[in-house]
Amino acid sequence: MDGKELTYKGQHLPQKGEVEFITGGPPCQGFSATVITIDLDFSYWRMYRNFVSFKRSMILKLTLRCLLRMGYQCTFAVMQAGSYGVPQTRRRAIILAAAPGEKLPLYPEPTHVFSPRACQLTVMVDDKVRDALSDLPEIKNGAKVEEISYSGEALSHFQRKLRGPGADWRDLPNIVVRLSDGNYSKLLKYTHDDIKNGQSSNGALRGVCSCANRKACDPTDRQFNTLIPWCLPHTGNRHNHWSGLYGRLEWDGFFSTTITNPEPMGKQGRVLHPQQNRLVSVRECARSQGFPDSYKFFGTILDRHRQVGQCCSPPLAEAIGMEIKKCLAQKEKDTVKHIFQIVS
């Protein structure tokens, strides 16, 4: 960049010694090459948390080594955006670097308690029998029904904890229904023994492909137009049974990591509105990231989802920025103090 004043678009480029701060975030779909300009006072990078362990941490080690060879002080941490006020679990690797003579910023303290399921509280009211059983349906003496649906909402924290995070594709009924175009869906047929999970309590098979009993996949096993997508039980053993797919968000829960293309079959998990029969909107995803409603997104719906999903959560970025601001303010204060001592 030395000696160049304009880009091919005619835009002015900052020259060596003119840049005080650089920030960036390689897309989480991969790790792009990043050009570092020397003589920067501060550098801030945001990356997907798997960056830390990618290639046995070799990429992280090389990145830190390059920064150190260039004379920077540097540090890294994996930070949870949910700990800074957004209703979403989003862990990102953050690298902070400061030039010689600058103060290296600290990482901000969390402002919010996140994911109560993971909290280890020491003072709690003891649970009673009512807290444990009052939401379960009535069972008549001698009943032999294997499963009975809940009769209502959970009535205590203990019940909500044991019920788990809610329904997903495994709760879809395996039935024939008439579709809006007049055609009918088909039953999903379980035709193979599942070696890993065995048979159900009534002896029914659980596999939908010959690979369930460790044989090669047979293309003729594939089923179409079923209410339960055939691909989900087919590959469920390799993907934690696709937990959360076709599931609704919980009003009292939080978003999984907001991605660039939310869809019911995506790996993000629950992307259906808690009450309405639709996917979450662009604005709702933006809310999960912490964007104010005044912030505008542009392009197609997919473009807007991509803009939301590829960014760093604004509250997390603000918290880091405040720590950098503290360092700059402290440096200015120290400089004034030093000048005052010389004059006096």
Q: Which residues are catalytic?
A: 28
CA distance to 272, 275, 277, 336, per residue, from 249 (Å): 6, 9, 12, 53
Phi-psi region of 182 (alpha: psi -120 to 50; beta: other; left: phi over 0): left
Residues 6+ apart with CB under 8 A from 236: 242
Burial class (CB in 10 A: 0-12, 13-18, 19+), 214: exposed
Rg (CA), the chain: 27
330, 102 contact by CB (below 8 A): no
333 burial type by CB count under 10 A (0-12 exposed, 13-18 middle, 19+ buried): exposed
- Nearest CA to 190 among 182, 202, 181, 180? 202
